[in-house]
């Protein structure tokens, strides 16, 4: 259950790299005055600085900890215990991590039990397991409460029974459905926390004290019914992440030492083990194909709509589906370290980084709730004392205000929308590392892009071939490919690959030489040939104005040209280029439709940069850039007031990626560092995911605005109606919980495919 950890074991490089974005949620314990305030209990809470190197980590499963309400109570309670240094909450799996020194686990369990919650100790191995579905509460108490509340209202309206009968039936409704609410409310009041349970307990008790028994019963029933519906609705957002965990099969067919194949639990499969997967099966672990050919549906990881062909040497990912043929692959990552596991962990961690709107709402609710509570108290007392008002009427209106006061709809609207957005993006193969980036995407107005591997395939191919000496019509490509095949330069490999695809037979090469920075040379059938660039042609004195013009024309198209030469002059030329992805053109067009300008930042020569930019429609291209130059370009755009994103896939892009408002890492699937360090990781190399991300960000912002306006608007209307005396308690509950459900359902719209 306990394991030693260093005091700062939770911090990663990413925390430090992006501290300006408020990634780490360190805060001192303080009392919350909102019903579901996520701000009061962020995912990671540093209670006090570490004073010891012997810090223990204890983990607990708390089934009832599924809302920031419980999170805040736990934080405030454990914050009073000596030796508790840090808390980390995982509401998705209902797991609490406690970093402590001399505080024993029994004291921690007792402190949590005092809040009416049960903490089940976990060992380190089980901490990452998905939470089992909580036991469903029996339905009959709520049913009894509803029938009794309706009966009390009916008897009271008809007036055929004495008041004590109405009170008795109403009391049955309150006790059968509301004992849990009262218990939670009392605990919250003792903790000086005005959450929804505390406010509802005060309102129902007040209604009983002024003789409004039927309304008190209906208020309690409606509240508990709405809480049940809301919990089920929130489970959908929670399950959107939890469902990813079900993608990996429990068993894998593994080769044993004696050559036999047996099924093992994927958690027991060792690195380097050989695993077989049949057609139609899910792949259980990350690995590299050793034998077999098949197509694999990678949509759960990369969001690709079409299956990807796999053969020896290709990577496969846990959770993807093998479709056509049998494959055998070598395991490259343990079950807990697979690409899918890292995606799930990243999305869960992202929920702890509060988005700007969520921070605003939480700060607003901390002021709003106690202010309205004080206002309700003033409404109950001042008019009767100062203006001769009727005590009964004004206390009743104050109770209605108290019910309306809870900002539950306002507070819950932001996290459920953010979680839905993060989950929707993950389904599309877009891994967003926090709500701050999900919201920030809509503000981008300039996007900088690397060229190789981002806009282009990053794999040069032969695009042009021309024979300059007619006598060599049949032999030129064979000789060039024979020389190129002895080199590992990307341009040479492209020429050799093109010849291989055409089935051209190669010649033996004697006395081969690599000419640094110029090309290669060798003897074929006793004749020395050279295969090299423009510079080599100049050195050999074999250039001409006509050849210069031809080379210049190809180079202006962004192509690299090499020539085959013998002692008399050029025999053939070959042009090689890194081809543009079809998806890049469409992606740039979509970005322009969204009003986002683009600039290419590349280390290639300016001619190539301009040619590629023209092909895909990029607004501006800059070539011959070192990593520091790319960073300077981002700084220059910032100085002009631009909101800049940066897309890249290489180490040389790291400074610019870190400086940009949002850094996008291309083709992150299977990359050890990209998922951990990028702000947004595109799991495949499809650039169209960036406009999809921007559209999702804008949709998320629209829904957040709608939810805030809806929540505040309904409360404003009811506050006005309350002063007219037209609002009733059950109407207030219906409106308050009704708008809570509306904002939840509105936020869940992001999960639609």
Q: Which 3 state secondary structure label does DSSP give 309?
A: strand
Among 548, 504, 511, 546, which Cα is nearest to 527's?
511
Q: What is the 3-state secondary structure (H, E, C) of 551-596?
A: HHHHHCCCCEEEEEEECCEEEEEEEEEEEECHHHHHHHHHHHHCCC
Going from the C-alpha of 372 to that of each of 207, 708, 715, the distances in angstroms are: 18, 17, 11
Q: Which 3 state secondary structure label does DSSP give 271?
A: coil
Of 450, 649, 684, 686, which residue is the catalytic one?
450
Chain center to CA of 698: 16
Among 100, 90, 129, 125, which Cα is nearest to 9's?
100
CA distance 478 to 591: 44
Q: At what angle do helices 213-245 and 196-209 cross, to 10 degrees?
A: 160
Q: HSE (CB half, 13 Å, CA atoms) of 244?
A: 32
DSSP string, 610-640: HHHHHHHT-SEEE-S--HHHHHHHHHHHHHT
Q: Which 3 state secondary structure label does DSSP give 662?
A: strand
Query: Terminus-to-terminus CA distance in the chain, angstroms?
Result: 40
Where would I find the beta strands (DSSP E) of 201-326?
A: 251-255, 261-265, 274-277, 287-291, 294-297, 308-310, 315-316, 321-322
Residue 566 annotated to the active site: no
Do residues 56 and 216 lie in contact, with contact meaning Cβ atoms separated by under 8 Å? no
Two structure tokens written together for 668: 């992150």
Two structure tokens written together for 166: 């109405």
The C-alpha torsion from 442 through 447 and 452 to 455, rounded to 10°, is: 60
H or E stretch covering 396: helix 391-405
Going from the C-alpha of 535 to that of each of 527, 531, 539, 561, the distances in angstroms are: 22, 11, 6, 11
Two structure tokens written together for 233: 């609705």
Task: Give, in degrees to the nearest 5, the angle at Cα 95 between 90 and 97.
Answer: 90
CA distance 298 to 428: 11
Going from the C-alpha of 347 to that of each of 43, 350, 424, the distances in angstroms are: 12, 5, 11
DSSP string, 126-165: GTTSPPPPPPPPPSHHHHHHHHHHHHHHHHHHHT-S-HHH
Chain center to CA of 308: 24
Task: Give, in degrees to the nearest 5, the angle at Cα 653 between 648 and 655.
Answer: 130
Do residues 71 and 188 lie in contact, with contact meaning Cβ atoms separated by under 8 Å? no
CA distance 472 to 563: 13
- Positions marked catalytic: 450
């Amino acid at each position: 259950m306990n394991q030693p950890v260093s005091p700062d074991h939770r911090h990663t490089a990413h925390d430090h790299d992006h501290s300006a974005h408020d990634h780490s949620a360190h805060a001192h314990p303080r009392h919350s005055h909102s019903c579901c305030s996520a701000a009061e209990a962020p995912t990671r809470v540093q209670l006090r600085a570490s004073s010891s190197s012997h810090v223990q980590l204890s983990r607990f499963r708390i089934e009832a900890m599924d809302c920031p309400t419980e999170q805040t109570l736990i934080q405030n309670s454990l914050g009073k215990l000596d030796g508790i240094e840090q808390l980390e909450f995982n509401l998705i799996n209902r797991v609490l991590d406690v970093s402590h020194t001399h505080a024993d686990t029994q004291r921690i369990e007792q402190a949590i039990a005092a809040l009416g919650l049960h903490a089940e100790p976990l060992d380190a191995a089980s901490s990452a397991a998905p939470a089992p579905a909580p036991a469903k509460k029996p339905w009959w108490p709520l049913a009894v409460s509803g029938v009794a509340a309706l009966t009390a209202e009916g008897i009271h309206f008809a007036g055929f029974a004495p008041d004590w009968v109405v009170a008795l039936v109403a009391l049955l409704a309150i006790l059968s459905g509301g004992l849990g609410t009262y218990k939670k409310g009392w605990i919250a009041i003792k903790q000086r926390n005005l959450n929804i349970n505390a406010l509802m307990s005060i309102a129902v008790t007040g209604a009983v004290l002024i003789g409004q028994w039927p309304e008190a019963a209906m208020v309690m029933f409606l509240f508990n019914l709405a809480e049940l519906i809301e919990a089920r609705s929130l489970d959908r957002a929670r399950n959107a992440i939890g469902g990813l965990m079900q993608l990996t099969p429990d068993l894998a067919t593994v080769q044993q030492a004696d050559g036999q194949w047996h099924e093992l639990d994927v958690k027991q499969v060792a690195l380097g083990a050989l695993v077989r997967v049949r057609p139609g099966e899910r792949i259980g672990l990350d690995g590299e194909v050793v034998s077999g050919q098949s197509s694999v549906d990678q949509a759960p990881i990369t969001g690709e709509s079409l299956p990807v062909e796999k053969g020896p040497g290709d990577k496969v990912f846990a959770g993807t589906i093998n479709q056509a043929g049998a494959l055998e692959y070598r395991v490259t990552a343990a079950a807990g370290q697979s690409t899918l596991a890292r995606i799930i962990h990243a999305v869960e961690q992202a929920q702890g980084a509060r988005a700007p709107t969520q921070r605003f709402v939480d700060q607003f609710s901390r002021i709003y709730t106690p202010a309205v509570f004080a206002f309700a108290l003033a409404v109950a007392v001042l008019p009767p004392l100062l203006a001769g008002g009727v005590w009964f009427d004004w206390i009743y209106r104050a109770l209605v205000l108290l019910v309306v006061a809870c900002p539950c709809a306002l507070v819950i609207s932001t996290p459920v929308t953010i979680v839905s957005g993060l989950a929707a993006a993950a389904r599309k193969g877009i891994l967003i590392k926090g709500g701050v980036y999900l919201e920030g995407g809509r503000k981008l107005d300039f996007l900088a892009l690397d060229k190789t591997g981002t806009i282009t395939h990053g794999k040069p191919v032969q695009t042009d071939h021309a024979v300059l000496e007619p006598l060599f019509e049949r032999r030129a490509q064979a000789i060039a490919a024979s020389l190129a095949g002895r080199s590992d330069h990307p341009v040479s490999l492209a020429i050799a690959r093109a010849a291989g695809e055409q089935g051209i037979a190669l010649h033996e090469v004697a006395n081969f030489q690599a000419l640094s920075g110029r090309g290669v040379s060798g003897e074929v059938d006793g004749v020395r040939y050279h295969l090299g660039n423009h510079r080599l042609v100049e050195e050999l004195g074999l250039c001409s104005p006509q050849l210069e013009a031809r080379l210049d024309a190809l180079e202006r198209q962004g192509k690299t040209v090499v020539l085959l030469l013998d002692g008399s002059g050029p025999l053939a030329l070959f042009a090689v280029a890194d081809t543009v992805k079809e998806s890049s053109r469409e992606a740039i067009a979509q970005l322009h439709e969204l009003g986002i300008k683009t600039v290419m930042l590349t280390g290639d020569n300016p001619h190539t940069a301009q040619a590629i930019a023209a092909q895909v429609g990029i607004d501006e291209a800059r070539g011959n850039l070192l990593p520091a130059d790319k960073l300077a370009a981002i700084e220059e755009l910032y100085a002009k007031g631009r909101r800049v994103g940066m897309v890249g896939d290489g180490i040389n892009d790291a400074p610019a990626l870190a400086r940009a408002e949002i850094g996008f890492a291309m083709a992150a699937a299977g990359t050890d560092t990209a998922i951990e360090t990028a702000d947004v990781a595109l799991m495949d190399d499809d650039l169209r995911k960036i406009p999809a991300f921007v559209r999702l960000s804008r949709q998320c912002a629209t829904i957040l605005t709608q939810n805030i306006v809806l929540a505040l608007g309904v409360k404003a209307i009811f506050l006005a109606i309350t002063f007219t005396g037209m609002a009733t308690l059950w109407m207030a509950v219906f409106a308050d919980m009704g708008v809570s459900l509306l904002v939840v359902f509105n936020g869940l719209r992001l999960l639609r495919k």
